[in-house]
């Protein structure tokens, strides 16, 4: 009796464990480009609405995001461009290709202003508040995608904490 109970338990585990743990993610891949020029856009934010899941495009505008099977609303955002929101269905063990062409949106574009502490050679000394001037080239050379990371790399005296869960960036 004890042997048959043990055998029954083993068989039920063999049949149920793959169903519980065997679900494999699908992959969302694609490329982001400027709709007008067709040029690839780097560091575009690709995120899943309502979650902390997302990524940023690499050089060449390509991205890849692993997601559990299901239908998601994908948000595509980049400074100076209109945001895109589209539904995408992900299937287990399959790759879904989705490219995004972003249109310029100058009306919503604004300056990014950063203040920090003074360091000789990096600031306007006569100013009432410390000012660091960072060029787009400086920001791109860091390779970082999060504002806090960029500032920590470029401004040694900057001290800040991340407000986003780091698991979001994969």
Report the helix count and the strand count for the chain, using DSSP H and E: 3, 8
Q: Is the model more confident about 9 or about 152?
A: 152
- Domain positions in the chain are 26-108, 111-160
Mean of pLDDT values over 17-22: 50
How far apart CA 61 and CA 44 sit, in angstroms, is: 8
**pTM score above 0.75:** no
In CATH terms, is domain 26-108 a member of 3.50.50.100?
Answer: no
CA angle 115, 120, 126 (to 5 degrees): 65
pLDDT digits (tens, 9 = 90+) for 100-155: 999 998 665 555 666 555 555 555 556 666 677 788 888 888 888 888 888 888 88
Query: How far, in Å, CA of 34 to CA of 32, rounded?
Result: 7
């Amino acid at each position: 009796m004890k042997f048959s109970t043990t055998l029954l338990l083993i068989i039920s585990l063999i049949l149920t464990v793959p169903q519980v743990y065997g679900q494999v993610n699908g992959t969302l891949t694609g490329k982001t480009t400027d709709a007008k020029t067709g040029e690839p856009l780097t560091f575009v934010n690709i995120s899943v609405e309502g979650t902390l899941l997302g990524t940023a495009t690499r050089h060449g505008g390509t991205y890849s995001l692993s997601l559990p099977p299901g239908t998601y609303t994908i948000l595509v955002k980049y400074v100076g461009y209109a945001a895109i929101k589209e539904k995408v269905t992900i299937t287990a063990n399959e790759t879904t290709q989705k490219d995004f062409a972003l249109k310029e949106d100058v009306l919503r574009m604004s300056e990014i202003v950063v203040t920090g502490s003074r360091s000789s050679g990096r600031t306007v000394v006569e100013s009432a508040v410390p000012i660091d001037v960072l060029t787009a080239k400086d920001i791109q050379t860091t390779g970082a995608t999060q504002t806090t990371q960029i500032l920590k790399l470029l401004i040694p005296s900057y001290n800040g904490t991340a407000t986003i869960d780091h698991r979001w960036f994969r």
